[in-house]
Amino acid sequence: MTEEEKIFSGVLFSPGNPQLKAIKLKTHNLCTEYNQTFEDETEKRKEIVSQIFAEFGEGSFVQGPIAIHYGQHTHIGKHFFGNFNLTIQDDAPVTIGDDCNFGPNVTIVTPVHPMLPEERYMIRTKEGENKHMCYAKPVSIGKDCWFGANVVVCPGVTIGDGCVIGAGSVVVKDIPARTFAAGNPCKVIREITEKDSMQYKPEILADNTLIDPKEIETLR
């Protein structure tokens, strides 16, 4: 197997492998280029993100600055919004569904390092070479999710559709769909229900009008 194939298989790989370093260098340089653009340079930004990510859906936008590791391992759906300082360390695949909104400083990580310091320093390959090694676990985030500021999603986590993750959360375990979860470690606080509708907050809704959910689906 190639080192990239080892990543996808969930076994130890060498992050210092020349082919992997070349992918990361290209993406890091593209991120630097993106971070040097102005927000209204929309066509230039669109061209850069098309080179960074494996998929970047229609109507999606990242505020910048961004820090993406591989890029080609990340698939982002339609109408995604990523606020300042989005970081995705996508050694393993990262999937983000449609209509997600991330607050500032959201970080998604997939690599895992050995716990023992000696093993973190070096492991011997079957060819007899001593190398720094790690492994990685994919992250999957459903559609219609909202992450508050400073959320960290750890390796191997799956977050279901329609979730709200509170600011400052460190997500280490799967979060079921349509729940509000928060904390470090992040835990489900409760389900999201009809009682969370803005109709029950008229002082905030003010003179605005809610749209029928069936109509919302036709507007997406």
Would you please indicate which residues are annotated as catalytic (active-site) residues?
Answer: 113
Beta-carbon contacts of 43 under 8 Å, excluding residues fewer than 6 positions away, are none
Instruction: State the architecture of 3-192 in CATH terms.
Output: 3 Solenoid (2.160)
Residue 88 near residue 94 (C-beta atoms within 8 A): yes
Q: What CA–CA distance (Å, rounded) separates 74 from 70? A: 8
**Phi-psi sector, 206: left (phi>0), alpha (psi -120 to 50), beta:** left
Predicted local confidence at residue 216, as pLDDT: 85
Helix axes 42-52, 18-35, angle to 10 degrees: 170
Going residue by residue through the chain (220 aa), what tens digit of pLDDT does each one get? 899 999 999 999 999 999 999 999 999 999 999 999 999 999 999 999 999 999 999 999 999 999 999 999 999 999 999 999 999 999 999 999 999 999 999 999 999 999 999 999 999 999 999 999 999 999 999 999 999 999 999 999 999 999 999 999 999 999 999 999 999 999 999 999 999 999 999 999 999 999 988 888 888 8
Q: What CA–CA distance (Å, rounded) separates 119 from 99? A: 41
pTM over 0.85: yes
Predicted local confidence at residue 129, as pLDDT: 95
* Proportion of the chain in helix, strand, coil states, percent, rounded to 5: 25, 25, 50
Residue 107 near residue 141 (C-beta atoms within 8 A): no
Domain ranges of the chain: 3-192
Predicted local confidence at residue 146, as pLDDT: 98
Residue 156 near residue 138 (C-beta atoms within 8 A): yes
Predicted local confidence at residue 155, as pLDDT: 98
